[in-house]
Structure 1
């Protein structure tokens, strides 16, 4: 039985991290290869992560709600017939081994008091830390047991290890001299680091270090009674970090009083740090806006899909200068054609909406005005270029509980009205269930957003950057229109469709936008022509 680690995979091109939304298994569960073990949200998709092994779940290494970088180990498996993985964590020593080592340490301590030249090492326990943090700790020569974790559940992160290494260097632990009340004093012994740490106040209480800070001593070894070591474990303290002035034959000796004082100092330091961070955050919030939590019914984390959408909208709005062209067209014939084919489509188990007709009308217009089927390549500022596309991939904005998602229907020009209906309905349904894949939301050349489905006539839709245009659809309703006749103009009720076309004015001129919209409206007024597309 071997232990295998499983790292968060790259679930989509360019993904750097994902939020672990939920675990689908627990420690001890038996899993089979390709069985889903977790749900991970990344960019605009919620994906299930499958197990690569047949085996048993050993340990879950990430918390639900935690944002995990791609490549971090999130789960370990016990796999039958496999040797231990080189990256797997070692098993913790048994209780008998720990007690035996404690007994040896106690004997060493007693012998030291009698002048015997014996030494004992502190037994090392396991801590909750990512494998990458453990590797970094080894590279920086940092004792992982002495690092306070800032991650979920006290998990030690790479940043925690780096901070511990920086703190050790800043504290001068590796220097050969330390500052005392009487000035610098040499605490080196035969070129080795002293086991005795400096006391800030030069006083001792019951032989313990009366340090007022939570700074770690960082020794290589420490002498202590078994009961003292047990007390350190209960306090969550690494005994090698406890400051002390007591020695036994040149080796640091820690008492229970020293453990108590150091643990209290650590708690006070953490509380002070948390308070300082809270005050800084509060001050920053006050400077930004005079907003308080008073009266707030719910605090929703701004992350995952919602944050991705926000960042995309911000990038689009502040990169592309938006201009929105509004118009309205009469669609009486479109309403009749859709009603005529609706029952026929239902017989083929297809729900026929107006969207496929609009998509066909847009493709016909893009053929006549190809500049709107373009993207602006700014990857090289010195060689920027407008890329006019020859494929017609239409993105359909879908409102979901997690925010706006835009699955893409590929090659619209090659598909019939019924084919488009099936594909749009399928993509929209899976988008609402957050089952649409990342690949199905890439490669768009033009986007449609249908705000009229929930009420509304006009809007100023934000372009789905790096595309250069987006068409917003209002609701199809009976509205008063002017109809020309031999007897003069007459106001009649007609089914009309409001259109809102937003363009990137760096690429598309207002005249192009107006001409494109006119072509779309002409196609919608004569929808039977679209059946030939």
Structure 2
């Protein structure tokens, strides 16, 4: 049993790819091994013959234990008997795939094939390795269940997912073929009505896939607070004209919100993290993404890099520049990369509050609602009073795998505190 990592003490044999008595060539996969972190394919060190399996599939074996006896041949032309699987493999090598016809694509050896229809594997096992590949390519678990696995008991292998990606993800928006027997999900045949058909453009398809992946991957929980922004609103109204005159930059609420969020992240750095398998990566940089609508109606998230190191002038310059680029369709790839936390200002559209979907692979996303005047009871030294205040709801959707309620609630409350404790004597 080969060593597959510093902390790995044992491995589980998933499947023997070469049976006892069969020949193999150098590089052929002898067996598949699973650990608590990744799946591994063990290649043959040279051409030879499989003499004996010391363990069976599903056996758990300590690292370093002998799992098979091989007869190694020094003859490079060592011939192995032709089997059905090898015939399929040769056909796969010689076939030419045509991306416009899914049914003409020839799958790897042992695969059940890619066709225009598929059956959902409801009991699909997602290994950490396959899960990692899916995350990087924004493949939801629902879509993974549509891929035919070539491993033991239909298990998905790395090669299955790689092959699926190479062939353009044919099942990304496909509909499942119902099983012939057993429980059937009723076909309710919803009346979708008639009207103008608008085909989703490439960006909308990517957004849809990203949202489905995020919702199906991260257990979303949303926390809410309300903040009294009266001092912030009054200060901005008083100073926005002078700010624009001095710096030739509009002073919107966005840089003020980003400033408060960056401060709160500094206080609670675990919110600025990403989950990688069983590891939590706490980011060194604080890069704030701003969910921004494009002229096409699609959504994009330009990123303010190192927001915690900027003053108000620099934040205003950066946010105004990015929003302007978005509206003019001039954003570059680097403008939308590297966000560690995202803000979605749903109040721009008049929404009281929102429950945003996390921008993967981040741990949380903040929605800011509309700033609305309301009568509030204020506690004063001389007694309670009813005053007109500028109030706003804040909602934080967070990944409950890595962020607990205490952290999320404390972080959200800290953002509100920074907004409420705005310095009215502040200069710029």
Moved over 4 A (4+): 139-142, 156-165, 280-284, 286-289, 529-533
Q: 1:479 to 1:287 in 2, by over 3 A?
A: same
Instruction: Kindly indicate whether the alpha-carbon contact (under 8 Å) linking 1:361 and 1:520 is maintained by their aligned counterparts in 2.
Output: yes
Q: 1:141 to 1:439 in 2, by over 3 A?
A: closer
Matches within 5 A, 1:412-491: 412-491=307-386
- Matched with 1:135 is none
Matches within 5 A, 1:281-296: 289-292=188-191, 294=193, 296=194
Query: Distance between the aligned counterparts of 1:307 and 1:335, measured in 2?
Result: 38
> Shift of residue 342 of structure 1?
0.4
Secondary structure of the residue that 2:251 maps to in structure 1?
A: coil
Matched, 1:352 2:247: no
Q: 1:506 aligns with which of 360, 378, 401?
A: 401
Instruction: Kindly indicate whether the alpha-carbon contact (under 8 Å) linking 1:523 and 1:529 is maintained by their aligned counterparts in 2.
Output: no
Q: What CA deviation, in whole Å up to 9, does each residue of 1:333-353 have, x standing for no partner?
A: 101221232012221321111
Larger helix share, 1 or 2:
1
Q: What CA deviation, in whole Å up to 9, does each residue of 1:215-239 have, x standing for no partner?
A: xxxxxxxxxxxxxxxxxxxxxxxxx
- 320-329 or 343-352, which deviates more: 343-352
> Shift of residue 432 of structure 1?
2.7
Secondary structure of the residue that 2:423 maps to in structure 1?
A: helix
Q: 1:163 to 1:370 in 2, by over 3 A?
A: closer
Q: 1:337 to 1:161 in 2, by over 3 A?
A: closer
Query: Distance between the aligned counterparts of 2:343 and 2:223, measured in 1?
Result: 14
> Shift of residue 493 of structure 1?
1.2
Q: 1:312 aligns with which of 199, 205, 210?
A: 210
Q: 1:368 aligns with which of 267, 277, 287?
A: 267
Instruction: Kindly indicate whether the alpha-carbon contact (under 8 Å) linking 2:240 and 2:250 is maintained by their aligned counterparts in 1.
Output: yes
Matched, 1:397 2:291: yes
Matched, 1:388 2:278: no
- Matched with 1:77 is none
> Shift of residue 486 of structure 1?
3.7
Instruction: Kindly indicate whether the alpha-carbon contact (under 8 Å) linking 1:305 and 1:402 is maintained by their aligned counterparts in 2.
Output: no
> Shift of residue 402 of structure 1?
3.7
Matches within 5 A, 1:226-305: 289-292=188-191, 294=193, 296-305=194-203
> Shift of residue 140 of structure 1?
6.5
Q: 1:493 aligns with which of 384, 388, 393?
A: 388
Instruction: Kindly indicate whether the alpha-carbon contact (under 8 Å) linking 2:291 and 2:342 is maintained by their aligned counterparts in 1.
Output: yes
Q: Structure 2: which 5+ runs fail to align?
A: 1-92, 107-173, 179-184
Aligned length: 262
Secondary structure of the residue that 1:423 maps to in structure 2?
A: helix
Query: Distance between the aligned counterparts of 2:308 and 2:345, measured in 1?
Result: 20
- Matched with 1:324 is 222
Q: 1:287 to 1:532 in 2, by over 3 A?
A: farther
Q: 1:343 to 1:371 in 2, by over 3 A?
A: same
Query: Distance between the aligned counterparts of 2:284 and 2:425, measured in 1?
Result: 19
> Shift of residue 304 of structure 1?
0.7
Query: Distance between the aligned counterparts of 2:381 and 2:239, measured in 1?
Result: 33
Matches within 5 A, 1:107-126: none
Instruction: Kindly indicate whether the alpha-carbon contact (under 8 Å) linking 2:358 and 2:364 is maintained by their aligned counterparts in 1.
Output: yes
Q: What CA deviation, in whole Å up to 9, does each residue of 1:141-163 have, x standing for no partner?
A: 99xxxxxxxxxxxxx95566994
Query: Distance between the aligned counterparts of 2:293 and 2:341, measured in 1?
Result: 18
RMSD of aligned residue pairs (Cα, Å):
3.2
Query: Distance between the aligned counterparts of 2:408 and 2:378, measured in 1?
Result: 26
Instruction: Kindly indicate whether the alpha-carbon contact (under 8 Å) linking 1:463 and 1:503 is maintained by their aligned counterparts in 2.
Output: yes
Q: What CA deviation, in whole Å up to 9, does each residue of 1:150-183 have, x standing for no partner?
A: xxxxxx9556699499xxxxxxxxxxxxxxxxxx
- Matched with 1:206 is none
Query: Distance between the aligned counterparts of 1:158 and 1:356, measured in 2?
Result: 46
Query: Distance between the aligned counterparts of 1:161 and 1:375, measured in 2?
Result: 35
Instruction: Kindly indicate whether the alpha-carbon contact (under 8 Å) linking 1:417 and 1:531 is maintained by their aligned counterparts in 2.
Output: no
Query: Distance between the aligned counterparts of 1:392 and 1:503, measured in 2?
Result: 17
Q: What CA deviation, in whole Å up to 9, does each residue of 1:381-440 have, x standing for no partner?
A: xxx211111211000001222411111110111222122112212211222333212221
- Matched with 1:516 is 411
- Matched with 1:343 is 241
Q: What CA deviation, in whole Å up to 9, does each residue of 1:33-83 have, x standing for no partner?
A: xxxxxxxxxxxxxxxxxxxxxxxxxxxxxxxxxxxxxxxxxxxxxxxxxxx
Q: 1:487 to 1:306 in 2, by over 3 A?
A: same
- 444-453 or 401-410, which deviates more: 401-410
